[in-house]
Amino acid sequence: MKIVYRPIGIVRSPFSEAEGMPIQPSRARGIRGTVELQPEYAEGLEDLEGFSHAVLLCHLHRSRGFALKVVPFLDDTPRGVFATRAPRRPNPIGLSVVRLVSVEGNRLSFEGVDLIDGTPVLDIKPYVPEFDEREEIRLGWLEEARRREALSDTRFDRDNDG
């Protein structure tokens, strides 16, 4: 089975490299970015401005290959890739929940950018707490690790063999 996605736009952010970039939108408070949609998709942004947050699904174009065990940013222990948010995945799809600032024409402005400039956007969805929040949450290995302060480094870049 062959699956093909075409980007609907690209992320514009202040980050040209992964190193030093926030590792999740919650750690990028106040850092602004935009999504520039291809003009033919602009109509699809109608009514999005009424939402406070959106989910960006992106192709992590700078990720190199994949590994089934990775050392995530907040830990020193190799973990199964599906128990992490690491970008080196069999399908390098990123998910960012961002705070919407404005929608103008084919441009979506937001805060909480944790993506490299030029990242292809595959889809945008409104964040709806009623649909997305869950009760009785367990955080596995992240329970302790999430208290650590961390920024992205080059460990998952396609141009880095380290």
pLDDT digit string, tens, across residues 34-49:
999 999 999 999 999 9
Q: How far apart are the first and last CA of the chain?
A: 32
Mean pLDDT along residues 101-113: 94
**What is the C-alpha separation between 21 and 150, in angstroms, rounded?**
9
Q: Give the per-residue pLDDT at 162.
A: 42
pTM attached to this predicted model:
0.81
Average predicted confidence (pLDDT) for the chain: 85
pLDDT of residue 146: 56
pLDDT at residue 114, as a whole number: 85
